Structure 1
Amino acid sequence: MTESNGPDAAERTEGMPDWEKRFRAPRVSLPDWAEDAPDRSLFVSNATGTYELYAWDRATGEQRQVTDRANGTTDGVLSPDGAWIWWFDDKDGDEFGVWRRQPFTGGEDELAAPGLDPSYPAGLALSRDGRTAVVGRSTDEDGTTIHLAREGEAPFELYRHRESAGVGDLSRDGSLIAVEHTEHGDAMHSALRVLRPDGTTVAELDDTDGGREELGLDVLGFAPVDGDTRLLVGHQRRGRWEPLVWDVLTGEQTDLELDLPGDVSAEWYPDGSALLVVHGFEARSELFRYDLAGGALTRIPTPPGTVSGATARPDGSVEYLWSSAAEPPVVRSTTGDVVLDPPGMKCPGSVPVEDVWVDGPGGRIHALVQRPEGATGPLPTVFDIHGGPTWHDSDAFAAAPAAWVDHGYAVVRVNYRGSTGYGRAWTDALKHRVGLIELEDIAAVREWAVGSGLADPARLVLTGGSWGGYLTLLGLGVQPGAWTLGIAAVPVADYVTAYHDEMEALKALDRTLLGGTPEEVPERFAASSPLTYVDQVEAPVHISAGVNDPRCPIRQIDNYVKRLESRGAPHEVYRYDAGHGSLVVDERIKQVKLELDFAARHLAT
């Protein structure tokens, strides 16, 4: 692997602040490995200063860079036989493109599925030899289509629907294809359909009851055994995510009923006899092995913190990507080894998080707090709001909050209603009063932070990216006296224009959240749009945006900025040539420097 920033990296890092080192230090993802060639792996790294795909032959130790694009590449799949690497080729982060493939050992890239026009990706599953693929596509014109693409043949359309859908998995023998769909119109809760390669339906599983009962399903994968028709499925029947085993031919469902609080996911061990269980609870996670024959649940020791990915190897060991707020990510194995240790500069650690529970209008709110070591309040405080919205902050390493802490700020992260990890009711509370619900929870935690003496009410920063950027702009307008300044990255700023310009899958999500289109429920879109409240914004605001962003498109941000300009309101805007965020380390550091400088100037910190 190429060492970060080239041979003079050590000289250039002399005197570099820790916050910048955290971004520059080489990182690696959890390696994916080929089912029938376990020594062949694929991972993502920022070793060159841009996140790209890398091939790794474990038998020889050889690593090589697979992709090399100006704006980076992270979407790649290794064929089960280890012969091919498929990667998604878009233009400058716009997420609209085609799949290409390259031999694992190196060579020229080629179009992986000739005959399929560019689209947004909607899932991919490869046959064991990598020469047959199930390709999911999403476009504004067609909605979702799923094709069977065999080498040397024209693609065959298996599925088409206006609502969002995606490829779930392909059985090991290639005879069964699992599809997640939202034909019932609820983009937050999928139903499942299993198809034959000729497009005929084998089985259906639908917990939505026509959309009235908001119970979703999730494909976790077919059993990795020839002729095995068991599909591992995630369900929400008891108010949280749990796994079950569904035999798609007999219809038999085996509910595992694991006695674990919080959300539970799983994947197969390679021989299909057991499940690797990932248990998430109150912003932390842990691993278990579940033996299907006897029902024994055995904890796999991991340090306190967050497991952000795990995989069981053919020898029975488990590899996992672990971190905590204080300790940088590392790929570990239950053998005791560090699986993949990138060369070059090591990432500095940070401070641990403290757990805070605050009573809110919809129930107890969980927040994670970091403060400079030894500092006492009241402190300038950053409310760093996560995106998603169906996501959650956890006790995991994050370079951006650590940068604020290094500069003397306390950082508060709020798992507001709409966040995952606290049960289905908490996630699904985000309906119709979109944005306003989350802000109520953020306001409750803000009140605690000021009242407890942690936060200086005259130096409060509201910030976030994506949905967090949206909540930042909305919060500045809805709660104008609560925040000293706002910093919004790739935000929704004008909800109506964003809806009309965004990718089709996100339109479906917005229709679910708000109960219709802007034409059908204009009052809801208006109530949830930052543009509606822009004239009430009092605090200085910094906005950064990718000009190729398909999720939070640039036109709607420009509309918001023009309204700020017309009022002479204090603001700064930074536009960069990428999509929904950047995979280039230098660009990301530039953005953080601009944000830190903006806060320092306006808060006199």
Structure 2
Amino acid sequence: MSSPLPHGSWPTPITSELVVRTAARLGEVAVDGPDLWWSESRPDEGGRSVLVRRAADGTVADGLPAPWNARTRVHEYGGGAWTVSGGTLWFTEFSDQRLYRLDAGSDVPVPVTPEPAVPGGVRHADLVATPEGLLAVRETHADSGAAADVVNEIVRVRPDGSSDVLVSGPDFVAGPRPSPDGSALAWLQWDHPHMPWDAAQLVFRSADGTETVVAGGPGESVVQPTWAPDGTLWFLCDRTDVWSLYRKRPHGEVELVLDVGADIAGPQWLFGQSRYALLPDGRIVLAYGRAGSDRLAVLEDGEPRELELSWGTFRYVTAHGPAVVCVAGSPGSEPVVLRVDVGSTEPEILRPARRLGLDPAWFSTPEHVTFPTEDAGTGIGEAHALVYPPTNPEVTAPEGELPPLLVVVHGGPTGAAVPVLDLEVQYWTSRGFCVADVDYRGSVGYGRRYRDALQGRWGVADLDDVIACARFLAGSGRVDAARMAIRGGSAGGYTTLAALTMRPGVFTAGASHFGVADLGALAAETHKFESRYLDGLVAPYDPDAGPAGNPVHAERSPINHVEALDTPLAVFQGEEDAVVPPSQAEAIVAALRAKGVPHAYLLFPGEQHGFRKAENIRAALDGELSFYAQVWGFDLPAAEGIAPVPVHR
């Protein structure tokens, strides 16, 4: 144990270089006969989404050679960019958004869809292989570039690139699923101003063309339709407050099968998500969340039997014979690809986590904390957070010194804190910071009532909750009230900016990663998927009325409260971000400059919404740390050689 060192200056092996070294964000899982496939987004390959194949003999190799990048921009967030069947891989290539096919035994993908008139303007997602080719969600962009002119449809694409439109008319569609005999089709649809977690419908089209809304609509969301071999249609719906398991047998009524009092599903920001799977013997394996972590259970005779596993989060649950394959993680483990035989509960790690070479003593373990907050008419007077204490086995702080606090605001705002080992969190805790990842009202995992508590209150209830969390931790003597920072990306960046401009005096530093400064500009400039999101979160927006005709948007826009902005702020932005355009960051930076408030601004060329390239992830982490060091007056570990980020006044 070394001599005491001030919080923030603790030497640590968890550097920004380690954060990105051989890192990979694991994604969807697919089964193709004896082979297993999954996706990996790799920062050290420029954020390329690689598809990996594990053969029956256990051999693991990249199934998609460089420089191919299986990533779609449908809804801008993507997902469902690939599928594999009979050894043939179909995928959307990120650079041009065309569909490609890679046949078994070949390493040269061939284009399926033609070059569109608008570069990158015809995109496909939610791919499902059929005997005739593919079913897919197609998103077509017009020359105008306007969100209102984007068309979303379900199409059938043949191997020669020709296509038929199967579903058109709704503003959005997802989850095309053909029945086992191919005679019927089920899908999800929703219309503006709703988001899919607000009011998505499950629609069934029979062989004679008759269409029936099975479930969903205003106040009710449906996700993940799945057919059983006997023609039963399974799905998840939140009509009981939480996303629960339902079924509709052929010629039968909709039945509630399982309500565990916790959400089985999550928000459909991405295509291709899966939280349950049907096994060949009729059993169902499903994941659901409770108190900041997941359970994986098998449904037997109408009752869930929780599987005894050391992992605490489960995504992309996929049947594989009598087992399931999924992406699993825990506070002590980065995500892995896991196979679990539900009979023996014997887990097999198919794709291990990185070998970090670190003693687990370096890792901070989160505590799920519930704290009081302002009810403010929501009927809910408490919120939640995962709190990570500062953890370093080789350093102590000077006696009596409390750690600085980083309040993390997740994106969405329909997102959630996830208790999985994340080196970007440990980067801070191993240096002496306390990190609080807040599940403010509006977050998922606590039911629809908690999620809907943010409706009409974005910029109010979320601020109440992040401030209540900071004051709760400071009041309990766990953190230094004079060194509390707030940071977040996207919607979390908005809450960060709003807290510093509309509730000043609580935080003494902040960091906005591609955050929203002007709600009116966001409503006018953002992409189709979120172009009406603010109707529910804030108020309906009239694009022809200007700020005077949209008073709620104007009142809750941080850019309109810069007279109160005197807190040092670091701003990080992707130059090609179509969700929160760079103009949002530049507006707040201009205000900081005009007022002479200490600030830093890093703009990353080639990055979209969220940073995927290793060098940019490192620059953002080290730049933010350097910014806090300069603002709060502590030294950085000399061995890391972190260059001070320029702080302007």
TM-score normalised according to structure 2 size: 0.81
Report the residue type matching 2:457 in the other structure.
R
CA pair 103-55 structure 1, distance change in 2 beyond 3 A:
farther
Pair 1:321-2:327 in alignment: yes
- In the alignment, which residue of structure 1 is the partner of 2:64? 66
- Give RMSD over aligned pairs: 2.8
CA pair 31-425 structure 1, distance change in 2 beyond 3 A:
closer
- In the alignment, which residue of structure 1 is the partner of 2:408? 384
- In the alignment, which residue of structure 1 is the partner of 2:350? 339
Q: 1:297 aligns with which of 304, 309, 320?
A: 304
Distance 2:365 2:475 in 1: 22
Pair 1:534-2:539 in alignment: no
- In the alignment, which residue of structure 1 is the partner of 2:370? 357
CA pair 158-77 structure 1, distance change in 2 beyond 3 A:
same
Contact 1:432 1:513 (8 Å CA) reproduced: yes
Q: 2:19 aligns with which of 2, 13, 22?
A: 22
Contact 1:161 1:183 (8 Å CA) reproduced: no
- In the alignment, which residue of structure 2 is the partner of 1:413? 437
- In the alignment, which residue of structure 2 is the partner of 1:552? 580
Report the residue type matching 1:591 in the other structure.
A
**1:20 positional shift:** 3.5
**1:47 positional shift:** 8.1
**Further displaced range: 76-85 or 42-51:** 42-51
- In the alignment, which residue of structure 2 is the partner of 1:43? 39
Question: The residue matched to 1:588 in structure 2 has which SS?
Answer: helix
Report the residue type matching 1:338 in the other structure.
I
**1:162 positional shift:** 6.1
CA pair 603-286 structure 1, distance change in 2 beyond 3 A:
same
| Alignment of structure 1 residues 363-442 onto 2, 5 Å | 363-373=381-391, 378-442=402-466
- In the alignment, which residue of structure 2 is the partner of 1:103? 103
- In the alignment, which residue of structure 1 is the partner of 2:525? 501
Offset from partner CA, 1:23-71 (integer Å, 9 cap, x none): 3244462662334x23142331538544431331422414125153599
Offset from partner CA, 1:260-309 (integer Å, 9 cap, x none): 23212442334261211111111100111113xx3242222212532234
**1:101 positional shift:** 3.0
**1:353 positional shift:** 0.7
- In the alignment, which residue of structure 2 is the partner of 1:242? 244
CA pair 98-446 structure 1, distance change in 2 beyond 3 A:
same
- In the alignment, which residue of structure 2 is the partner of 1:125? 127
Distance 1:134 1:72 in 2: 15
Pair 1:587-2:587 in alignment: no
Contact 2:278 2:319 (8 Å CA) reproduced: yes
Pair 1:164-2:172 in alignment: yes
**Further displaced range: 398-407 or 514-523:** 514-523
- In the alignment, which residue of structure 2 is the partner of 1:135? 137
Distance 1:394 1:574 in 2: 27
- In the alignment, which residue of structure 1 is the partner of 2:156? 148
- In the alignment, which residue of structure 2 is the partner of 1:34? 31
- In the alignment, which residue of structure 2 is the partner of 1:86? 91
Report the residue type matching 2:86 in the other structure.
D
Distance 1:409 1:102 in 2: 47
- In the alignment, which residue of structure 2 is the partner of 1:194? 204
- In the alignment, which residue of structure 1 is the partner of 2:540? 516
Distance 2:604 2:25 in 1: 25
CA pair 38-252 structure 1, distance change in 2 beyond 3 A:
farther
Report the residue type matching 2:29 in the other structure.
D
Question: The residue matched to 1:79 in structure 2 has which SS?
Answer: strand
Pair 1:598-2:638 in alignment: no
**1:320 positional shift:** 3.3
**1:193 positional shift:** 1.6
**1:345 positional shift:** 5.1
**1:481 positional shift:** 0.9
- In the alignment, which residue of structure 2 is the partner of 1:12? none
Q: 2:216 aligns with which of 207, 222, 226?
A: 207
- Quote the sequence identity (%): 21
Report the residue type matching 1:600 in the other structure.
A
Contact 1:494 1:530 (8 Å CA) reproduced: yes
Distance 2:162 2:446 in 1: 45
Contact 2:16 2:618 (8 Å CA) reproduced: no
- In the alignment, which residue of structure 2 is the partner of 1:460? 484
**1:399 positional shift:** 2.0
- In the alignment, which residue of structure 2 is the partner of 1:253? 254
**Further displaced range: 586-595 or 103-112:** 103-112
Question: The residue matched to 1:264 in structure 2 has which SS?
Answer: coil
Contact 1:127 1:170 (8 Å CA) reproduced: no
CA pair 264-153 structure 1, distance change in 2 beyond 3 A:
closer
Offset from partner CA, 1:81-135 (integer Å, 9 cap, x none): 33123134246xxxxx333332354332233334866447574232334723233
**1:72 positional shift:** 8.3
**Further displaced range: 489-498 or 133-142:** 133-142
Contact 1:284 1:305 (8 Å CA) reproduced: yes
Distance 1:516 1:67 in 2: 46
Contact 2:122 2:140 (8 Å CA) reproduced: yes
**1:342 positional shift:** 6.4
Question: The residue matched to 2:337 in structure 1 has which SS?
Answer: strand
Contact 1:85 1:104 (8 Å CA) reproduced: no
**1:417 positional shift:** 0.6
CA pair 297-103 structure 1, distance change in 2 beyond 3 A:
same
Report the residue type matching 2:330 in the other structure.
S
Contact 2:442 2:453 (8 Å CA) reproduced: yes
- In the alignment, which residue of structure 2 is the partner of 1:312? 319
Distance 1:440 1:487 in 2: 19
Report the residue type matching 2:384 in the other structure.
H
Number of aligned residue pairs: give it: 572
Report the residue type matching 2:468 in the other structure.
A
Pair 1:284-2:293 in alignment: yes
Distance 1:369 1:153 in 2: 51
Distance 2:367 2:251 in 1: 49
**1:230 positional shift:** 2.1
Distance 1:493 1:455 in 2: 28
CA pair 167-313 structure 1, distance change in 2 beyond 3 A:
closer
**1:201 positional shift:** 4.2
**1:400 positional shift:** 1.7
Distance 2:359 2:623 in 1: 22
Report the residue type matching 1:157 in the other structure.
V
Offset from partner CA, 1:158-194 (integer Å, 9 cap, x none): 2333633324433344333322222374223211222
CA pair 18-543 structure 1, distance change in 2 beyond 3 A:
closer
Distance 1:110 1:154 in 2: 15
Contact 1:49 1:586 (8 Å CA) reproduced: no
Distance 1:353 1:203 in 2: 46
CA pair 120-324 structure 1, distance change in 2 beyond 3 A:
farther
TM-score normalised according to structure 1 size: 0.87
Contact 1:490 1:543 (8 Å CA) reproduced: yes
Contact 2:14 2:427 (8 Å CA) reproduced: no
Distance 1:40 1:306 in 2: 20
- In the alignment, which residue of structure 2 is the partner of 1:562? 590
CA pair 41-17 structure 1, distance change in 2 beyond 3 A:
closer
Structure 1, unmatched stretches of 5+, are: 1-14, 92-96
Contact 2:20 2:43 (8 Å CA) reproduced: no
